[in-house]
Amino acid sequence: MSQSETWKTVGILGGMGAEAGVELAHRLITLSGARTDAEQIPCLLYTNPCIPDRTANLLYGGPSPTEELVRSLQVLIDSGAELLCIPCNTAHIWHETLSERVDVPIVHMIRTMAANHDRSLGERVGVLCTTGLVRFGLYQSACAEHGLEALMPTEDELEQYVMRAIYGSLDEGLVGLKGSNKGETIVGLMWEAAQRLIARGASALWLACTEISLIKEELTALSPVPVVDAMDSLAEELVRQARRARA
């Protein structure tokens, strides 16, 4: 297989959601600094709709995504990926299990976010993420390791605002971010949750679900405190780790 001399091949396991995976691939291209096709970062993006929904498994006992996640990562490895990532914060609940099952490192977007936080933005961060991720405490523990305090949405805020904006609501005929709806109603719902985190003392807002990353610009325009996107943090870390050491 032909290989770039500058970059390792990055494997992106997408589909969680689909647009988030494509958005990460786009941010990598922009961050690479390439001026020609030949200077780009080689990248494989696998948008797999067959991965059982993470939240449905965590909250409602739906099928486990583990085996399909492992199989999909293996597809990327077999195609030449030398560095892996999963642009879905919630899927990181399975990070340890997956890392044990495959032979290529999976960059951990949650730990990366906490490790690279700009201290000038303060140490109390408001974390917009899914219910499953709040309950499993991955952001809380990653923040604690780095001396940061993670302010999380309450169960009520998650249900009323965050999860409704991400998944939409069949009863209400509301299409959510997973259905590519980034309209005013959806942004408004997410902003309700964000405002409450800011009112409780967050000095920065973390977008800690890759669906929420898709409305980064809209939330940034509304927010009086800085907005930091976990997908940007992941993209920057991937560019760093993808660069081959000089011989």
Site residues, a second copy (CB under 8 A): 1-4, 7, 15-19, 22, 25-26, 29-30, 34-51, 53, 68, 71, 75, 78-80, 167-168, 175, 178-180
Q: Which is nearer to a second copy, 37 or 100 (CB)?
A: 37
Closest contact distance (angstroms) between CB of 199 and a second copy is 32
Q: Is 50 a catalytic residue?
A: no
Closest contact distance (angstroms) between CB of 84 and a second copy is 14
239 vs 243: CA distance, rounded Å: 6
216 vs 155: CA distance, rounded Å: 23
Taking phi over 0 as left and psi of -120 to 50 as alpha, with beta for the rest, 223 belongs to beta
Closest contact distance (angstroms) between CB of 48 and a second copy is 6
* Cα separation of the two ends of the chain: 20
| 188 contacts: CB under 8 Å, gap ≥ 6 | none
Residue ranges in the chain assigned as alpha helix (H): 18-31, 54-60, 66-78, 95-101, 109-115, 131-136, 138-145, 155-157, 163-167, 184-199, 216-222, 230-242
Closest contact distance (angstroms) between CB of 141 and a second copy is 26
Cα 13 from chain centroid?
11
Q: Which is nearer to a second copy, 10 or 125 (CB)?
A: 10
**Count of residues in the chain:** 247
Coil, helix or strand for 97? helix
Q: Which is nearer to a second copy, 84 or 151 (CB)?
A: 84
| 216 contacts: CB under 8 Å, gap ≥ 6 | 207, 227, 229, 232
Closest contact distance (angstroms) between CB of 226 and a second copy is 25
Residue from 43, 85, 88, 129 carrying the catalytic annotation:
88
Q: Which is nearer to a second copy, 7 or 206 (CB)?
A: 7
Residue from 85, 129, 143, 209 carrying the catalytic annotation:
209
Q: Which is nearer to a second copy, 3 or 97 (CB)?
A: 3
Q: Is 43 a catalytic residue?
A: no
Contact 53, 69 (CB under 8 A): no
Catalytic residue annotation: 88, 209
